[in-house]
Amino acid sequence: MANKLARQNQTDSSATKLLWIDAMCINQDDNTEKSIQVQSIQSIYYKAQCVLIWINSPGTSGDERRRQEETTTTIRKFSQYHKAGVNTTEIVQSLDGSADKDSNLTFQVTHSKQAGHWPHLVKFFDQDWWRRVWVRQEIATSRRASVLYGESTVDWEDVATLSHWLIVFTTDLDAKTLQWGGAHQSGAYSGEDLQYFRNTLQNGGNLDFQTILIHARSCEATNPLDRVFAILGMVQNHIEMPIDYHMSVAEVAKQTFQRLAVLNGGLDALIFSQNPARKEGIPSWAANIYSSFSVRPSRLKGRDESLYRASVDGPVSYSFLADSSTLSISVAMFDSIRWISKSFQPNMNRVDLDHAMRFLRAQAFGWMGARSDSEKYEQLLRTLTRDQNIQGLRLMSGAGDCPNWGRFFRFEHEDVGAATEFQYLSKALKPFQASADDAEIKAWLRLFSESISNRRMVMTKGRKLGLVPTEAEEQDVLCTLASVDVPLLLRKIDVNTYILIGEAFIHGAMDGEVLTSDIGFEELNIHLL
C-alpha cells in the first residue's frame, strides 16, 4: 500500500513526496527507540502536507470495492447537501432509502429500499480504526486529512460533518448500528470527539489533560502505556511527563494521577479510577490505564460543571507516601451499606428493564415501609435516574417546581414495567403537556439502563437509597472528600487503611446534605492503597 501511494504521488508532481508510516518507521520492538520517536510524532503530523487515514484494506471482490466507493460517495454528497442547508427530513429520507422519486437529493448508490444507506454507513463506522488510541493525535494535530476507505478517498471534514449530523439528528443511531450489523458503538461518536479536539487545537485553544485521558481510556491500545503516551502530543506543551516505554503500567498510572492532582488542584480524578481489583499493580486511587470504564462516570470530561455538590469546594489535604503506592487523605465518613442488590448487566432489552424495575421497586418499597407514595417514588426514581432527566440535567426540585411524585400512584402497582413507570414520571414532570411519545420513553429507558448497568442498588444504615459499583459489598463505607463532587465508596482492609471501590450516587447526599446533617459524620485521615 505504501509503495502504491508513493508512486501515485510521484506522477502527480515533479517533486518527490515523502510518505511516513509510523508502524514501519518506528521499530515497535525497541522500547528505547519508541520512547524517543513518539516524542516527535506530533511535529510530524503537524508538518505533513496531508495525513492519510487508512480506515481499512481494499476489498478483494468487485462488490466490496464498489461498496467502499459508494460509501465515500454517500458521505461526500451528504456533506454537500447538509452544508447547502437541505432540509433534515429530506436527508433522513434519502439515507433511509425512502425519499420521494422526485427528490432533488441524488445519492447515486445501490441500496435496498428497506435498509437505505445504513448497512454501508454502519460498516464504515464499525471499522477498528475508530477505536484505536493513536488515531486521536493524527487527526487532532494534522493540518489536512483524507480518509482512505479501501481504494476510495473522502475528505476528513466531510466525515466529521456526517458524524456530527448522525449524533444530533439520528435519535436511534445505536439501534440502527445494532440493526445493520455493527459490533461496536458507532464510530460517529469518536468522529465527533476527534473533530472537537482538532478544532480546539487549530483555533489556538488548549485541550485539558484529564478530558483527553478519559477519552483515551475507552480506546484500544496494544500497550496500555499508549493510553497516556499517545495523547501527550496533544497537551505536551501544558504538562511535563516523561515518555519511557521501559516504565511499568503501574508507574505510569501513578505518575499520571499525580500530574492530574497538581493540574486540577484536587483529587476529583478519583471518580475515574474504577480499579478496586488493583489490576497490574495499579493502586485503587491511580489512573486506571489498563482497562476501560466499567460504568459511565458522573462526568465524562475532566473539568465540566458537575451536576452534584456532595462536598465543599476548597483545598484538599493529601500526600503520596514514600512507597508511591499509598495516598494519604482526609475524608468525612457518613454511612455504610446495609443491604445490596444483585448487579445489572449493560445493554438490557425492554424485558430485562421491566424485570429490573419491578425488582428494584419491590425492594425499595418494602424497605421504605410506611412512607407516603410520593416519598417512595421520589426517592426511587431520583435514584434510578441518578437524579437526571433525559437532557442530562438535574430533575426539578424546589417548592415551586417540584413534581407531584405520588400523583399517579394510588397503590403499589407490582406489574407496571419500566416504560409505563417513565410515562408516569414524564407526566408528573410535565402535567400540562401531551404524554410522552415513543422516542421520549426510549430516552428514559436508555437513561435507566445506563444508570443501573454494572451497578447495584443499596440501602444504607442511615436509611438512604443509592447506586454503587458492582464490586461493592455490605459494610463498605461512604465518605465525602473536599473538591470531589460525588460520594466515594471505600472498603476497609486494615487499621486506617482502605481501597477505593468507586463513586456512588446516594439520594440525600448529593448536594452537601451530609455536611449539614444533624446525624453528623466522622472526619478521618486514612491511607488509600
Q: Please, are residues 71 and 165 in contact by the beta-carbon 8 Å criterion?
A: no
Question: What is the C-alpha to C-alpha distance for residues 172 and 461, in angstroms, rounded to an integer?
Answer: 41
β-partners of residue 437 are: none
Give the long-range contacts of residues 78-84, CB within 8 A, separation 24 or more: 78/107, 78/158, 78/161, 78/162, 78/165, 79/157, 79/158, 79/161, 79/162, 81/105, 82/161, 82/162, 82/165, 83/161
Q: How far is CA 518 from CA 171, 303, 515, in A?
A: 45, 32, 9
pLDDT of residue 15: 65
Please give the model's pTM, rounded to 2 decimal places.
0.85
Question: What is the C-alpha to C-alpha distance for residues 309 and 493, in angstroms, rounded to an integer?
Answer: 28
123 alpha carbon, distance to own chain's centre: 21
pLDDT of residue 279: 92
If DSSP codes are grouped into helix, strand and coil, which group holds residue 464?
coil
pLDDT of residue 357: 92
pLDDT of residue 105: 57
pLDDT of residue 478: 97
pLDDT of residue 6: 35
Q: Please, are residues 141 and 46 in contact by the beta-carbon 8 Å criterion?
A: yes
pLDDT of residue 3: 34
Tell which residue, 21, 19, 55, 79, has the closest CA to residue 152. Answer: 55
Instruction: Tell me how crowded residue 238 is: count the other CB atoms within 10 A of its CB.
Output: 12
Question: What is the C-alpha to C-alpha distance for residues 476 and 500, in angstroms, rounded to an integer?
Answer: 10
Q: What is the DSSP string of 471-495?
A: T--TT-EEEE-TT--S-EEEEEEET
Alpha-carbon radius of gyration of the chain: 26
Number of H helices, E strands in the chain: 20, 12
pLDDT of residue 30: 73
Question: What is the C-alpha to C-alpha distance for residues 288 and 230, in angstroms, rounded to an integer?
Answer: 15
Kindly report, residue by residue over 96-123, the tens digit of the pLDDT.
766 555 555 555 444 455 667 888 899 9
Q: What does the DSSP 8-state code read for residue 219?
A: S
pLDDT of residue 186: 92
Kindly report, residue by residue over 35-87, the tens digit of the pLDDT.
667 766 777 777 777 888 888 777 667 788 888 888 898 898 888 888 887 77
Q: Please, are residues 137 and 46 in contact by the beta-carbon 8 Å criterion?
A: no
Locate 527 and state its grid cell: 491511607
pLDDT of residue 401: 55
Strands 145-149 and 51-56: parallel
Question: What is the C-alpha to C-alpha distance for residues 169 and 117, in angstroms, rounded to an integer?
Answer: 16
Tell which residue, 210, 213, 238, has the closest CA to residue 225. Answer: 213
Strands 327-340 and 318-320: antiparallel
Q: Please, are residues 332 and 479 in contact by the beta-carbon 8 Å criterion?
A: yes
Locate 220 and state its grid cell: 484500544
pLDDT of residue 507: 94
Kindly report, residue by residue over 346-366, the tens digit of the pLDDT.
888 899 999 999 999 888 888
Torsion angle of the four alpha carbons 363, 368, 372, 378, in this order, in degrees rounded to the nearest 10:
-70
pLDDT of residue 4: 35
Q: Please, are residues 143 and 235 in contact by the beta-carbon 8 Å criterion?
A: no
Ranges of the chain whose pLDDT falls below 70: 1-15, 35-36, 39-40, 59-60, 97-115, 236-238, 300-304, 396-414, 517-520
Q: What does the DSSP 8-state code read for residue 220?
A: B
Task: Using alpha carbons only, give the angle 402, 403, 405 rounded to the nearest 5 degrees.
Answer: 125
